[in-house]
Every structure is written in structure tokens, then in C-alpha cells.
């Protein structure tokens, strides 16, 4: 599917934009600027590693998503992770250890992966893994957290390790956030944001985009409130329906275009905030960038999956390397086929085409 499209160049340009936007966002903070300048050099080196691999016919994505725990203290309405039973209240016994995650992070750095998104469950429930991530200085780790486990110890960790960037999940204002995440969560997030700002610590916000909240969460009023609290990164994540009765919440092409137009306007207005969207510009990137095209997902048990919304795996990084996982039979079949480029209604083509993904998985077994 990539015979004419230069995916490596597209992804490298995307990473360069993120780095340059991040530098602009932190110019008023000497410590953050110093860190981002060092990271810019490391990111450039990583891009060259990926380019050399591409010359050998080996594609290395610049991003990785790592769900470092299956546990979470909240029961958010419509949570894809709970719907797929990937998240539970009590942690299972076979989760990857902090040492195993450190090996994965170090290998990712060697391959030229620049960003590892830490997710869960609730990732801050694994302080041991967070400490492992902190030691890998040439990778930035956005930590997607519900914000309820942030305390003075974590503020100290974030202060000493600028490669860890907490990204707080918020759904809009108090009513929207509390209705999905639980009463009092919005106020707690606001308190923590104020503390981050007072301590001159970088943080971001992750917003799930639905047909119901798209106008609120992309409005000047909402983004302005986040900017006033010191937020330097806003990530819009399209809602992925996990059942037929929630399909109405998935943004349509018309609403995706609306979001893209709003983001463009917001970038012009808030030059010290980085705006990202997921899955982003799939048409411009030749299709979905999951399954190792631009990123892939490792679950808390070590299974390498196309993405968090497509929990299928035929290889485990406990038993193999990241390089071998990227070239797994399932990933290779997806990248060489047409599924990733297919049209789809919801936020994730692999979830919508899950029957075809399952057929590929069964064929490869």
C-alpha cells in the first residue's frame, strides 16, 4: 500500500513538527527549553537510525504505545479498555515487570523510536515502571493519566525528569468530565493543573472527541481555560464506538474536517500550545498508521498489538525483540494489505474491520 507514498519522510516530518512546536511552547521556561534542545538532537539522531533501517528494507515507527498496567481506579463511561476486558480493578499476576519494561524502552531507543505513550489502565499506579521510563532520557514519555494519583512524590519525579510529560484526561467542563469519569474528578484535575503551573512543570490534556462534545472541546473558551492553567499540549482522540448503541458518538468525516479546521485556528491563536489529533490525517498518511506503520501497541502482558483499539496479537515481547514484533506475521499482513487504507465511519478502521483482522490472525496461526 506504500509503493508511491514515502511514509518514512512523512513520519520524520511529523516528528520534526512536534519537536519544533514543543520548543516554541516552552521558550519562556529555561529548564524546559534546555531539555527540548537536547531532545531535538536525540530526535534527529533517532530519525537517522530509522532512515538507515529503511534503506535496508526495515521500517521502524517513531511512536510506541505501552499500556503498562491493566488496573484502573475509575470506571469511565464507554472506556474501550474495560469494554475489551483489557482493564480490570485488580492487577493480574502476569503483567510485565519494571525490568522487562526497561528492556523494552532501551531497545526502543536503540531502534530509533522517539516517543513512547504510557497508558493503562491508570499508568501512575505503576510508579516502578514510571521510574524505569525516567531513566531513558532520549525518549519522551507522554503519560496518559486520569490525574487522581498525582501527589507530591509525582510532582518531584516530573520535576527531576523532564522526559516524563503527564497528559491529563478531561472531557470538557465539569459536567462533561464528571458525567464520564466520576463526581469530583474535574475539580481534582483543575487543582493539579494549578499545581503544575505554580511549579513550572509541563503538562498536557487528552480529550476524547465525540459528536456530543466536539463543539465544546474545540472552542476558544475551553482551550483558553486550559491555556490559562498552563497546559502546553492538547491531544484530541476520536471516540471509537465499542458497541452499536454508541456508534452515534463517533465523529464523521464532516466532523473530522470541522476538528481539523478548528485545530488549525487554535494553532494560530495559541502559539505556546502543541495541538495533536489521533488518529489524525489518515488520508494524508496513506491510511491508518497502526500495526507498525507509525506506531504499535504493547499491552500490559507483553502482547504486541496493531493498536489499543485492535487488541489482537500473534507475538509477545517477553519472548522476542521489538524488531521481531514490528515484523510479526499479523503486522506484516496488515501493512501489505488494504485494510489500513480502507474507508471507515468511526475513529479506528481496525476496530471497524475487526472481523477481517481476526481472519488474518487466524490465518497466521
202: cell is 509541563
Average pLDDT over residues 309-338: 94
What pLDDT shows up at residue 2?
A: 46
The string of pLDDT tens digits covering residues 139-155 is 999 999 999 999 999 99
**CA 234 distance to own-chain centroid:** 12
Placement of cell 476496530 in the chain: 351
Q: What is the dihedral of CA 129, 305, 330, 113, to 10 degrees?
A: -50
Specify the pairing of strand 297-298 against strand 304-305: antiparallel
Tens of pLDDT, residue by residue over 203-228, are 999 999 999 999 999 999 999 999 99
Measure the CA dihedral 68/71/75/76, to 10°: 0
Other CB atoms within 10 A of residue 90 CB: 7
pLDDT per residue as tens digits for the range 94-129: 899 999 999 999 999 999 999 999 998 999 999 999
Q: Does residue 269 contact residue 322 with C-beta atoms inside 8 Å?
A: no
Considering the segment(s) 7-364 as one domain, its CATH architecture is Alpha-Beta Barrel (3.20)
pLDDT tens-digit readout, 255-270: 988 999 999 999 999 9
Which strand ranges, in their side-by-side order, compose the sheet holding 141-145? 274-278, 233-238, 204-209, 164-169, 141-145, 115-119, 63-67, 297-298, 304-305
Q: Where are the domains of the chain?
A: 7-364
Please write the tens of the pLDDT for every residue from 51-101.
999 999 999 999 999 999 999 888 787 776 776 666 777 667 789 999 999
Amino acid at each position: 500500500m506504500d509503493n508511491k507514498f514515502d511514509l518514512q519522510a512523512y513520519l520524520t516530518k511529523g516528528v520534526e513538527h512536534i519537536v519544533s512546536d514543543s520548543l516554541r511552547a516552552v521558550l519562556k521556561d529555561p529548564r524546559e527549553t534546555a531539555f527540548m534542545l537536547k531532545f531535538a538532537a536525540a530526535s534527529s539522531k533517532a530519525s537517522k537510525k530509522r532512515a538507515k533501517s529503511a534503506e535496508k528494507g526495515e521500517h521502524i515507527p517513531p511512536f510506541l504505545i505501552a499500556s503498562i498496567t491493566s488496573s484502573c481506579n475509575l470506571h469511565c463511561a464507554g472506556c474501550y479498555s474495560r469494554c475489551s476486558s483489557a482493564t480490570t480493578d485488580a492487577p493480574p499476576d502476569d503483567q510485565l515487570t519494571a525490568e522487562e519494561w526497561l528492556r523494552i524502552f532501551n531497545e526502543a531507543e536503540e531502534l530509533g523510536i522517539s516517543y513512547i505513550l504510557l497508558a493503562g489502565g491508570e499508568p501512575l499506579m505503576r510508579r516502578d515502571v514510571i521510574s524505569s521510563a525516567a531513566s531513558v532520557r532520549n525518549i519522551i514519555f507522554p503519560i496518559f493519566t486520569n490525574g487522581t494519583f498525582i501527589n507530591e512524590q509525582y510532582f518531584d519525579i516530573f520535576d527531576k525528569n523532564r522526559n516524563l510529560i503527564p497528559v491529563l484526561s478531561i472531557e470538557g467542563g465539569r459536567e462533561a468530565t464528571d458525567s464520564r469519569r466520576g463526581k469530583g474528578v474535574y475539580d481534582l484535575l483543575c487543582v493539579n493543573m494549578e499545581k503544575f503551573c505554580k511549579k513550572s512543570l509541563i503538562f498536557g490534556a487528552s480529550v476524547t472527541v465525540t459528536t456530543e462534545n466536539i463543539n465544546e472541546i474545540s472552542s476558544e473558551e475551553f482551550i483558553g481555560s486550559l491555556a490559562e492553567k498552563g497546559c502546553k499540549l492538547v491531544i484530541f482522540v476520536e471516540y471509537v464506538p465499542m458497541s452499536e448503541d454508541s456508534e452515534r458518538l463517533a465523529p464523521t468525516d464532516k466532523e473530522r474536517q470541522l476538528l481539523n479546521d478548528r485545530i488549525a485556528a487554535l494553532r494560530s491563536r495559541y502559539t505556546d500550545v502543541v495541538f495533536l489529533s489521533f488518529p489524525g490525517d489518515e488520508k494524508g498518511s496513506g491510511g491508518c498508521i497502526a500495526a507498525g506503520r507509525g506506531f504499535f501497541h504493547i499491552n500490559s502482558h507483553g502482547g504486541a498489538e496493531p493498536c489499543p483499539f485492535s487488541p489482537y496479537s500473534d507475538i509477545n515481547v517477553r519472548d522476542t525483540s521489538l524488531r521481531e514484533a514490528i515484523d510479526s506475521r499479523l503486522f506484516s499482513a496488515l501493512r501489505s494489505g488494504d485494510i489500513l487504507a480502507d474507508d471507515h465511519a468511526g475513529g479506528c478502521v481496525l476496530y471497524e474491520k475487526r472481523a477481517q483482522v481476526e481472519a488474518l490472525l487466524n490465518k497466521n496461526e
